[in-house]
Structure 1
Amino acid sequence: MSVRTVRRRIGWLLKVNRKLGADEELRIAKNFARAWPGGGHTPDAPTVSRWESGKTAISTATVNRYEGLLGLELGCLTALKHAIERAAGTASGPGATAVDDDKRLHELLERSAGKDEMGGPSWIELSDHVRAAPDLRLHPPRLWDAVSDRLLGELVVAEHCGWLQRQEALSRLLEHRWAGASAIGACIDLAEDSTPVVIEPLSLLDSSPDLVAGRYIRQAVESPASDRALVGALLAASRKIRRRHFTHEDSSRIGRAVTSLLNDSTLDEGLRRLASEVESELRAGGATRADAASVWATSSRPRRISTRACARVSPAGPSTDEMLTELVGQALYDPNPDDRMLAAMFIAGTPVRAAVASCLLVEIEEDLRRRRHCDLGVLLRTMTLLRSGNHRPVLHRILTDPHAEESARLAAAWALPHCAEGPAVTPWSKILEVQTRLARRPSMIGASVLHGVVYGAGTDGDEATLRRVRADSDLPTIVRSTARWLLTARLPVRSLRHSGHL
């Protein structure tokens, strides 16, 4: 992703929040600039316009000021700025407040290594201090273990803005000379813990140039413990190739493993796309790829959704928003789950989120009525990433219908566990009964559907359903082991329905 694209997206994020914000006075750029004093250099209306069009670089302090003036949650827009800059490889250095403030650093370290509260902004502040001190060593060194374990434990159960903040903080620790080993160890330990939470700790290892991280990812591509582990390993491998983290031997072995995957006719289509991306990165030798955003904008569905959403939020405003069309298209169709997720999170970080979710639901209902299932999975996944719960009744309907097609059931099974709270209680017992019966038929998809159902029952705290699964020796091993883990997990599993990887 180019620097210009990054600036345009951050500018769009600021503009939409201002133009559709609760304070009508601030929707006028001149009034917004007039309200600025107290947040550093006072801009004028043309400066605001240049920021929001992406023509001028936007500092973290500027984004913080937008959050304050618009009454938004502290760090909610800043977290998206950090995320897109990291994805594009254009992350800025530590903030000025992180320099030469040992007292604050020690205070944050003491809190993070103990049990005192550490919100997302505090983790970002701590990681900013750590990044500003590349030679920082802790005594005893195991303090890094305590900090890393706690941060990763919070990350996998955090949601939305808090999840992004902790992901950025942990990525910074992974890049640090002395904190990195502990952060790598924490990720590997969680990935090895027979847990369904495996994509995050594996994919996060892309931040570390350490050979231990590279070797572990290579091994996970060669001999994945599960399909979800393979997703995490391929995500990390793709970016590590781009960042030239692998040795020549590791790159060669990953290449052979990926070729074997692509020759497997039974490979899931999503995994095939990820494996193809890794293969393309290896062929390119880590060269920067051109933006593919224009591809998403040419599809009729993203433009239709974008146009309808614009009409809902601002009937008198522009009929189209090219950036929204681009983001909707990428959220739906980008082959890389990380890029899809980030595009959806940008939409979710604006007041247009609910309108886009409503338009997606219209598309889903229409596709189901016409029995068109080719896009159902991507539509449901994007609804989830937008933190919407209004598709929950549709998911229930699909999973309790014994005649629903396999592709629809698979999409619904993995969308439901991460679905935002909705108006109806999920009938997990009925869903399990229907899906268990369907899984008896010869099918590779049945086990994956049941896996998603069990994971969802666990995040909803339905222990009775989990115990039934654990006791049923006829069910697939991965399904029973997931139920067992969810019944004994040290993590607060009800919080695992975050907007992470699906």
Structure 2
Amino acid sequence: MSTSTGRVTSGRPNKIADDDGRFDSRTRIAWLLRMNRLYGRDPDLAVARRCVTAFAGRLGPVTPSQISRWENGVLPVPYRVIRAYEDMLGLPTGHLTAAVDTVHQVRSVRPGAPRLDRGFTADAVLARELDDLLDRCLADVPMRAVDWDGMSARVLAIPHVYLPRPMWHTLVTRLLAEMSVARGWDYHHRWEALRRLQGHPVAREAIAVAVAEMIADPASQIVVDPLMLLVHDRHATQLLVDEVTAPTSERTLRAALDVCELAAGAGRFGGAEARTLEMLARSHAADEGLPADVRRAAVDLLSGLARKRPTTRKTAPDRAETVAGLVRSAEGAIDVATRGTSVTENRMLSRLVDELLFTPQVDVRLGAAAVLAASPFGAPLADALARDPSPRRERTAALGMIGGAQHRPALEALLVGRTPHAVSAQAAFGLGNLPGHTGHAVLVAAVHHHRGNEEVLRALVYAAGMQRATPVLAEVRGRPDLPPEIRAAARWWLARPGPE
């Protein structure tokens, strides 16, 4: 639904919304590697000493104690080691590295070279590789997610990369457009590429301009993700304040309030900006003419400016019981008892599930989703969420973040019947983010069923747009019985190019 130079961590580990070291970024990465090894395709690799031979051909001599230190968070894990895990475990290239990059994005406001250092040497070979990738970007030749990943990492590895400003604008506008409509790891790689390019002084300015242009379009259907990029640009926070001051629409106001809360929690605002935001947030919170969710976002921003975490709307016992039930289902599905998962590792799984379901901060939820989806627990967790007989909004949202194509029917079933509108809207947004496609007839029937509810209709148009359901979008655009804003949303999607 999206760093510094060095290895995976350097010095003090990057904290992720915690007050202790048990759940910091290094520990999360170590947990992800160990879980994939323990519950991967080859049960022999569950014994660390049997990995030595598997690693040797990729890394050179490795000892069981080294593996243990990587997987217990004692040592930072370099990029080449994580790539070796991917190869050894038969995972797609980028499956683990994209998740690790996402871990470092959470609660971080430092753009630039990836914390997971690729170890590039700035030589003639690297320059030729970058030339080829830049030529493809600017010639509008199809770019895969890993190509954007490679291009952005090379830009930051080679000092003094020069492109004329119009070329930077062309490049980042294309990348932003592709990121906005990408799904899964395709999204994460593109988001990370934009974050890195913010470390280049001219590319940073071009990204801020491209974000402002996208948000200024009142028909734009993607607003939160572009605005979140501004959190990582200390020169662009005024753009966030401007959007709260004079929003393009109620949707962009809600998005700007949410993102300002994230930026405030990171200490991005001070002095006049903080005072202006506080005044505006109080005004919006008291404006009964605004939707309830916008007023609630204004209250959360006030908490963020005061450095107070917003409280969740779930009672502690119910929350704990929900998390425990999902963890039991996931652990039971892969029989964790047979391969020695520790109590600490179980706590990490519980923490990630809790963040996925209940944490108010969107970047923390996205980070938890990325780690869970890259772990062996992602699919069984999604299965458990899909089986929920009385779905609630937070469970539906979680399924849309970690589910697969096989979970689409569970979300499709929530588009009709007596399902609360908020849950139906969340199900539609989830369908937009999951791999695969929903039948056109299902989407059209849902549009007819919810024709009186703009929240659900907008989510359905999002689902149709993300899967390029052109016939559905064309029908919505041409229906005079639907609100003008919904028809405009369909027109925006019809005009939107998508990644190859």
Which amino acid letter does the alignment assign opposite residue 486 of structure 2? V
Pick from 65, 71, 84 the counterpart of residue 65 of structure 1. 84
Q: Establish whether residue 469 from structure 1 lines up as the match of residue 476 from structure 2.
A: yes
Pick from 54, 58, 64 the counterpart of residue 45 of structure 1. 64
Q: Which residue of 2 aligns with 1:442?
A: none
Partner deviation per Cα, 1:134-184 (whole Å, 9 max, x = no partner): 64332x332212221222222223222221111111111123212111122
Q: Which residue of 2 aligns with 1:393?
A: 409
Q: Establish whether residue 165 from structure 1 lines up as the match of residue 189 from structure 2.
A: yes
Q: Distance in 1 between matches of 2:355 and 2:441?
A: 30
Q: Establish whether residue 341 from structure 1 lines up as the match of residue 354 from structure 2.
A: no
The alignment yields a C-alpha RMSD, in angstroms, of: 3.1
Q: Which residue of 2 aligns with 1:306?
A: 327
User: CA, structure 1 residues 238+423, in 2 after alignment: closer, same or farther (shift >3 Å)?
Assistant: closer
Q: Which residue of 2 aligns with 1:499?
A: none
- Is 1:432–1:450's contact at 8 Å kept on the other side of the alignment? yes
Partner deviation per Cα, 1:232-284 (whole Å, 9 max, x = no partner): 42343234335554463222222222222333457666656654443233223
Q: Establish whether residue 491 from structure 1 lines up as the match of residue 497 from structure 2.
A: yes
Q: Which residue of 1 aligns with 2:229?
A: 204
Residues 98-497 of structure 1 aligned to structure 2 (within 5 Å): 98-100=121-123, 101-133=126-158, 135-138=160-163, 140-193=164-217, 194-210=219-235, 213-246=236-269, 248-264=271-287, 271=294, 274-284=297-307, 299-314=320-335, 316-317=337-338, 321-362=346-387, 364-365=388-389, 367=390, 376-401=392-417, 403-421=418-436, 426-436=441-451, 439=452, 446-487=453-494, 489-492=495-498
Q: Distance in 1 between matches of 2:57 and 2:317?
A: 40
- Is 1:68–1:74's contact at 8 Å kept on the other side of the alignment? yes
The DSSP-based 3-state class of the residue aligned with 1:196 is coil
Q: Distance in 2 between matches of 1:455 and 1:302?
A: 29
Which amino acid letter does the alignment assign opposite residue 424 of structure 2? R
The DSSP-based 3-state class of the residue aligned with 1:284 is coil
| 225-234 vs 177-186, greater mean Cα deviation | 225-234
Q: Distance in 2 between matches of 1:335 and 1:296?
A: 18
Q: CA deviation at 1:426?
A: 5.0
TM-score computed with the length of structure 1 as normaliser? 0.83
Q: Distance in 2 between matches of 1:93 and 1:86?
A: 11
User: CA, structure 1 residues 40+195, in 2 after alignment: closer, same or farther (shift >3 Å)?
Assistant: same
Q: Distance in 2 between matches of 1:269 and 1:65?
A: 49
Q: Distance in 2 between matches of 1:299 and 1:273?
A: 24
User: CA, structure 1 residues 257+136, in 2 after alignment: closer, same or farther (shift >3 Å)?
Assistant: same
Residues 18-29 of structure 1 aligned to structure 2 (within 5 Å): 18-29=37-48
Q: Distance in 2 between matches of 1:405 and 1:157?
A: 27
- Is 2:372–2:378's contact at 8 Å kept on the other side of the alignment? yes
User: CA, structure 1 residues 45+167, in 2 after alignment: closer, same or farther (shift >3 Å)?
Assistant: same
Aligned residues: 465
Q: CA deviation at 1:54?
A: 1.7
Q: Distance in 1 between matches of 2:394 and 2:465?
A: 23
Q: CA deviation at 1:8?
A: 1.0
The structure showing larger relative contact order (alpha-carbon pairs under 8 Å, at least 6 residues apart) is: 2
